[in-house]
């Protein structure tokens, strides 16, 4: 598995999103996924304090055990855990970090990410607290998620001469190409930041296992998603684009999973494609899906998905 640079870190081109840990997967199933990832050369695990009702970090830490030093752990803070644990106030940043360290069973977080912007707190205050955590050795690099290009620039200015966000994690896939249009990819180049796409497989629509017009398999992300969210992904427009991509994948005899991963990795800003997995087979499939696509294939994919 090739690695790419994320700040001072080296991360595998495919990472594991840990949203299923503690939600759909118990400790045994989580450990199986983590072990499978390590076996295929994946070293990047992305979780958050809210995943699995705070249990994702716990299960990940236990699954890694003595192999913790072999991996890069990314986690996040800021989204509401309950009525009092949320936001980006300096005092909360400090306590949230301590809680994540305890749950993960580790002495440092490799990439600590602001999960969502907090408009009630000056970004300079949040970054100031993150600088303290870096100085104390509790955090190695800092990043963010769901920030706009303007917010990224503001955060860079707020960091001054100190450590700045080295990555931004926003939605990006063949079916959601917003970072190209909203200037976030351009800001990554300008600010020397890495980009981490979430929902790279568009909630399973780009795996090849979900076929337009066919029933959604029980237990999958789409099947368990709230109706107001799944409505978008199951709309005629999105389903039509999926059908077009499936047809093209068949024409060039290339799995749509390979097209989804490799198209994202063709963008220089992308450091790693983070995808969830509910079993070892999915991890292995994700890891083996990466290839260097011919220029003409990349151009055709851009044409087919330009409205996305």
Name the phi and psi angles at 13, rounded to 5: -60, -25
Residue 196: HSE in the Cβ half-sphere, 13 Å Cα cutoff: 32
68/70 Cα distance (integer angstroms): 5
133/98 Cα distance (integer angstroms): 10
Degrees (nearest 5) of the Cα angle 203, 205, 208? 130
Whether the CA torsion 160, 166, 168, 173 is positive or negative: it is: positive
Contact 162, 131 (CB under 8 A): yes
273/194 Cα distance (integer angstroms): 11
Contact 212, 242 (CB under 8 A): yes
Residue 156: HSE in the Cβ half-sphere, 13 Å Cα cutoff: 17
Give yes or no: 51 in active site: yes
In terms of phi and psi (left: phi > 0; alpha: psi -120 to 50; beta: otherwise), the region of 213 is: left
Name the phi and psi angles at 109, rounded to 5: -110, 125
- Paired with 141 in beta bridges are 111
- Paired with 45 in beta bridges are 16, 73
Residues involved in catalysis: 51
């Amino acid at each position: 598995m090739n690695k790419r640079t994320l700040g001072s870190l080296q991360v595998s081109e495919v990472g594991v999103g840990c949203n299923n840990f503690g939600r759909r997967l118990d400790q045994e199933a989580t450990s199986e996924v983590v072990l499978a990832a390590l076996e295929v050369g994946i070293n990047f695990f992305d979780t958050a304090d809210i995943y699995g009702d705070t249990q994702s970090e716990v299960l990940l830490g236990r699954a890694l055990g003595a192999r913790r030093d072999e991996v890069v752990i990314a986690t996040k803070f800021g989204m509401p855990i309950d009525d009092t644990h949320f936001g980006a106030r300096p005092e909360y940043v400090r306590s949230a970090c301590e809680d994540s360290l305890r749950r993960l069973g580790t002495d440092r977080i490799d990439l600590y990410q602001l999960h969502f912007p907090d408009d009630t707190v000056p970004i300079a205050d949040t970054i100031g607290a993150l600088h303290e955590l870096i100085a104390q050795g509790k955090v190695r690099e800092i990043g963010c998620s769901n920030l706009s290009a303007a917010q990224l620039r503001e955060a860079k200015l707020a960091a001054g001469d100190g450590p700045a966000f080295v990555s931004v994690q926003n939605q990006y896939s063949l079916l959601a190409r917003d970072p190209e249009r909203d200037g976030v990819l351009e800001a990554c180049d300008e600010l020397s930041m890495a980009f981490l796409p979430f929902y790279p497989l568009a909630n399973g629509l780009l795996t090849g296992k979900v076929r337009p017009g066919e029933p959604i398999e029980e237990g999958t992300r789409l099947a368990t998603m709230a109706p107001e969210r799944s409505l978008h992904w199951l709309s005629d427009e999105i389903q039509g684009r999926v059908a077009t991509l499936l047809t093209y994948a068949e024409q060039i005899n290339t799995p749509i999973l390979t097209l989804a991963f490799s198209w994202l990795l063709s963008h220089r800003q992308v450091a790693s494609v983070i995808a969830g997995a509910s079993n070892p087979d999915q991890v292995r499939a994700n890891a083996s899906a990466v290839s260097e696509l011919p220029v003409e294939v990349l151009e055709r994919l851009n044409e087919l998905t330009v409205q996305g």
